[in-house]
Amino acid sequence: MTESGRRIPSWIGPVAVVSIAQLFGTSLWFSANSAAGGLIDAWGADASAIGWLTTAVQGGFILGTLGMSLLGLADRFRASTIFVTSALAGALFNLGFAWLAQDVVSGSVFRFLVGLSLAGIYPIGMKLIVSWEPERTGQALALLVAMLTLGTALPHFLRFSGGQLPWQWIVSGSSGLALVGAALVHRLGTGPHLPAAAGVKRTGNVLSAFSIARFRAAAIGYFGHMWELYAFWTAVPMLVAATGLDAGFPALGVAGLSFLVIGAGALGCLAGGALSQRIGSAGVALGALILSGGCIVTFALGWRAFPAEALLAVLLLWGASVVADSPQFSALSARACPRDMVGAALAIQNAAGFAITMLSILATTILIQKIGPSAVWLLLPGPLAGVAGYLIILRRHRRRTG
C-alpha cells in the first residue's frame, strides 16, 4: 500500500514500476535525434542542428531542476504527483515538436519545453526509488538509470523498426510511451521512506549540501561523468556514419547500431548495480570512469584501422561503461545529504551536471563535423577530472577528520 492508498500488482515491485515508467518517460529525451535524417531533409538543416536541438533539451532540463531545487518544489510536493504531471506535459510538448515545429528555431522551443518537463521525470524518479528502497539505493538506482539508458536508445529502435514511417510518427511514439509511464506512477504513488511532502520545510539553502565533503566528492565525479555521457550519446549516430560502421552491418544501419551502442549502457548499469553490493558504489563509479576513458583513447587511436567487428566491440564497451557510474554517484550523493533534502540535492546536482553537457554536446558535434571521429579526444577530460576530483576531495576530508 502506498501513501496515496493505491495498490500495485503483487508480482511486480515498486522499483520495477518506477524503472519502467522512467524508461517510457525518458524516451522523450532523444526523440529528435532518432529523426535526424528526416529533420535534415524537411528543414534543410545540417547535422549540427541536431546538436542545437539536444542542447535546447538540456537547457530546459537545467532550468527545471534549478527551479525545483532552489524553490524546494522537489521536496514540497509528492514525488509521484510531480512525475505524472511532468510526463503528461512532456508528451504534449513532444507532440508539438513533431507536428507544429517548422524549423530549428521553433523546434528548439518545443525541445526546451520537453527538457523542462524531464526535470520532473529523471531526478524525481530517483527520489521515488529512494522512497521505496532506501537501503538498496545503489542497486535500485542502477535499474532506474538502466531504464533511462534504454529510454535514450528507444527512439533509435523506433526509427530502426519504423522503416519508412515519417519522422513525425517516430517522434510521436515517444509521447505515447511517456503517457504510459505517467499512468504507471499515478497508480503506484510515493513510497513511505521519506518525509511526507506536506511536512517538508526548507531547512536551509540547498547549496549547503556542497559543504558536505562526501556529497561534494560524489558531485565532482558526477560532473566529470556528465562531460562525457550526453555528448557521447548525441555523437553515436554521427560516429557510426562517419566511420562507415553502418556499411559493415547493413542490416542494422545507423539507427540499429546506435540503439545497440547506447542500449549497452543498460547492461553496464545492471552489472554495476550488482557489483556495488560487493565493492561499494565508489569502486564501481571510479572503475567505470577509468574504463570509459580507456575506450575514448582506444577509439580515437584505432577507428581508422580497426575492422568493423572490432570497432563495434569498442563502441559497445564504451556504451556499457559510459553510464554505469551514473547511478552509483547518485547513490553516493543521496546517502551523503540529509533525508529532507534528497530531492533538492539531487536536482541541483543534475542541474549543474547538465549545464556541463550543453558545452560538451555543442563542442563535440561541431568538432566531429570539422575533423571527424577523432574529435572524441574532447571527451577524455571528463573521466580524468571525475576520478581525480573525487579522490582528492575524499583524501583531504580524511586528513581533516584524522
pLDDT tens, position by position, 324-375: 999 899 888 888 887 777 777 877 888 889 899 889 998 998 899 899 999 9
Give a yes or no: residue 3 inside a domain.
no
The predicted model gives 264-273 an average pLDDT of 94
pLDDT number for residue 3: 46
Which of the four pLDDT bands, split at 50, 70 and 90, describes residue 2? very low
231-254 residue pLDDT tens: 999 899 999 999 999 999 999 999
Give a yes or no: residue 19 inside a domain.
yes
Q: Which of the 8 DSSP states describes residue 17?
A: H
Domain hosting 374: range is: 14-196+205-401
Q: What's phi and psi for 35, nearest 5 deg?
A: -105, 20
Domain count, the chain: 1
pLDDT number for residue 203: 43
Q: CATH code at 37? A: 1.20.1250.20
| Lookup: cell for 347 | 536536482
| pLDDT beyond 50 at 198 | no
pTM given for the model = 0.81
Residue 232: CB partners within 8 Å, gap ≥ 6?
318, 319, 322, 376, 379
* Element of type H or E holding 335: helix 326-336
> How far, in Å, CA of 290 to CA of 311, rounded?
19
Give a yes or no: residue 1 inside a domain.
no
| pLDDT beyond 80 at 91 | yes
Give a yes or no: residue 107 inside a domain.
yes
Give a yes or no: residue 6 inside a domain.
no
Give a yes or no: residue 8 inside a domain.
no
Give a yes or no: residue 4 inside a domain.
no
293-329 residue pLDDT tens: 999 999 999 999 999 999 999 999 999 999 999 989 9
Give a yes or no: residue 323 inside a domain.
yes
The predicted model gives 212-227 an average pLDDT of 92
Distances (CA, A) of 290 to 295, 297, 352, 358, 383: 9, 11, 22, 23, 7
